Amino acid sequence: MKKVILYLSFGLFILASCKVDEPIVKNPTTRSIRISSAYINEYIWADNSVLYNVSLATKPVVKIVFDDSINISKFISSKVTFTGEIGSNFTAAKGENNKTLLLTSTVVPKGLTEYTLTVDTGNYLGGKISTRFSSRFVTAVDPTPKFPTISDDSLLTLVQKKTFDYFWSYAHPTSGLARERFGSGETVTSGGSGFGIMTIPVAIERGFITRAQGYERMNKIVNFLNASSTDKFHGAFPHWINGTTGKVIPFSTKDDGADLVETAFLMQGLLTVQSYFKNGTTAEKAMCNTIQALWENVDWTWFQQNGQQKLYWHWSPNYGWDMNMPISGWNEGLIVYVLAASSPTHAITKSVYDSGFARNGAMKNGNTFYGVTLPLGEDNGGPMFFAHYSFLGLNPTHLSDAYANYLTQNTAHAKINYNYCVANPKGQYGYSSNCWGLTASDIQNGYTASSPNNDVGVIAPTAALSSFPYTPTESRQALHFFYYTLGDKLWGDYGFKDAFNINTRWFADSYLAIDQGPIVIMIENYRTGLLWNLFMQNPNVQAGLSKLGFTY
């Protein structure tokens, strides 16, 4: 009996010893599976990348290819996620082979919206997914019209009416002048107000307001500007003014006095309105006399800085000529020299224009860009406002001097701006024959003068819309795109918002006076020539143009 027990004990010991030497397997070996490639709607989609312009014609289909077979029955939905309204609204299925996973959205995503797909690591799909995939895609612009289609004539009127309302409903209540931008409070802008003033004849003629209403607003503005309490420096106005007190609001530390360029924009507007009301009622004629006094009070020759053959932009009662910025072309400063030569009281000579602005011909260009010869200015034309601000009143149609024909100049400028955006050498997402226009505007977290030489991906509606006299076909294409296609994002209480960047899906909330005004004015000049006719009939302006050697 003892032997039997001994043998049994020995046998158990041997069995136990054998079990210690063998590996103990609690779970079967898990295969490692890696993601080899990914596609969305058959376009290759790299990890940690962004794919633009994903079609809205069909619901997105994502294909994930692995390096080994997968088991779709082991799919865990929490491991694969989409952002946005797609979320978990998709189906997962095996693709054309055992290595492919198909993810098909069951909802149509929104236009111009970014989505992220994440395929996480973990034990699912029949193995251990060892590589994580996370990438973004941006859907195409939704081409569906956002507003009912109307005639082009009606659309132009609608754009003018809504844009004019910035200067009418949002004007400063005390002065009647234009606020610098939406949200500026007390800060009104002299140049932007000059643009806003020019929209009043348009509004009267289009029936947006009555003539009596237009006169009442203009009389408020003119009396405010003429008041002794409103700051003026040798007859010139500051860039920014407090709309209640009339006191200068410094544009920068040393820019706390006269701004001759902004003053020229203001005078261009005042002289245009003067022509509109000059043959009216006794009260209207009295207002026009006050405008004449403001006009005659500007001492343009003072801004030659002690008799130099050029005009200077700024003068400060505290810093004198410290900013020392001459106004030289080619840029928006043509109107400054024209008005300075036209002054009935403080006129410059032709030599100041030739030396100061034209730089004795150095402002000429003559090279070809994107198939268009550019007579004046920097290569590729610069920001579009060069072709707008001086020509709100100055009619370029037959305007020529020793340096250029100005319709040729401005048309070339607009065509180059358009052709650049179509060619899109920097690959800015969204640029096209329907979406173009580079000029000074708000950008994300700032402001810049966009141009082909300073392209940050931001389109400003004012660039194309204020170019209607030069590029009617191209501007109309842009108008349709801005209104019908982007209208849900770009159209607001005062017409088109200031700017947008399709690449980053950024649309400004802002409106700027200097961008809103030219839209109303240049569309009207395209339609009827109203503001050109009013400004150009001024006998002082005609004399000044002739003095400078212009034919018109």
Domain that holds residue 355: 152-547
Answer whether residue 19 shows pLDDT above 80: no
User: What is the CATH classification number for the domain harbouring 111?
Assistant: 2.60.40.3710
CB 485 within 8 A of CB 146: yes
Residue 398, helix vs strand vs coil: coil
Residue 16 inside a domain? The answer is no
Region 38-64: what's the mean pLDDT?
A: 94
Chain-wide mean pLDDT for the chain? 94
- 108-147, pLDDT tens digit by residue? 999 999 999 999 999 999 999 999 999 999 999 999 999 9
**What is the rounded CA–CA span in Å between residue 459 and residue 181?**
18
CB 480 within 8 A of CB 397: no
The verdict on 429 and 522 lying in the same domain is yes
Peptide bond into 330 cis (omega under 30): yes
Region 228-240: what's the mean pLDDT?
A: 98
Nearest to 341 by CA among 543, 81, 85, 61: 543
Answer whether residue 239 shows pLDDT above 70: yes
- Give whole-number Cα distances, 284 to 200, 227, 275, 532, in Å: 14, 18, 11, 21
Region 74-87: what's the mean pLDDT?
A: 95
Residue 18 inside a domain? The answer is no
Residue 270 inside a domain? The answer is yes
Residue 350 inside a domain? The answer is yes
Mutual angle of helices 282-297 and 211-226, in 10-degree steps: 40
The verdict on 73 and 204 lying in the same domain is no
Res. 30 pLDDT band, cuts 50 70 90: confident
Of 139, 167, 197, the residue at which a domain comes to its end is 139
Of 139, 170, 192, the residue at which a domain comes to its end is 139
Of 139, 173, 196, the residue at which a domain comes to its end is 139
The verdict on 359 and 235 lying in the same domain is yes
The verdict on 304 and 399 lying in the same domain is yes
Region 225-239: what's the mean pLDDT?
A: 98
Q: Which helix (H) or strand (E) holds 243?
A: none
The verdict on 466 and 380 lying in the same domain is yes
CB 67 within 8 A of CB 33: yes
The verdict on 475 and 533 lying in the same domain is yes
CB 511 within 8 A of CB 497: yes
Is 330 buried (19+), middle (13-18) or exposed (0-12) by CB count in 10 A?
buried
CB 304 within 8 A of CB 312: yes
The verdict on 165 and 44 lying in the same domain is no
- 290-303, pLDDT tens digit by residue? 999 999 999 999 99
- 382-437, pLDDT tens digit by residue? 999 999 999 999 999 999 999 999 999 999 999 999 999 999 999 999 999 999 99
User: What is the CATH classification number for the domain harbouring 431?
Assistant: 1.50.10.140
Q: Which helix (H) or strand (E) holds 132?
A: none
The verdict on 239 and 188 lying in the same domain is yes
- 164-207, pLDDT tens digit by residue? 999 999 999 999 999 999 999 999 999 999 999 999 999 999 99
The verdict on 289 and 262 lying in the same domain is yes
Residue 11 inside a domain? The answer is no
CB 468 within 8 A of CB 480: no
Residue 17 inside a domain? The answer is no
CB 70 within 8 A of CB 33: yes
Residue 540 inside a domain? The answer is yes
Region 522-542: what's the mean pLDDT?
A: 98
Q: How many domains is the chain built from?
A: 2
Region 141-165: what's the mean pLDDT?
A: 97
The verdict on 75 and 205 lying in the same domain is no
The verdict on 253 and 384 lying in the same domain is yes
Residue 196 inside a domain? The answer is yes
Q: What is the value of pTM for the model shown? A: 0.91
The verdict on 236 and 314 lying in the same domain is yes
Task: Check residue 29 and give its pLDDT.
Answer: 57
The residues pairing with 119 across neighbouring beta strands, listed in sequence order, are 80, 133
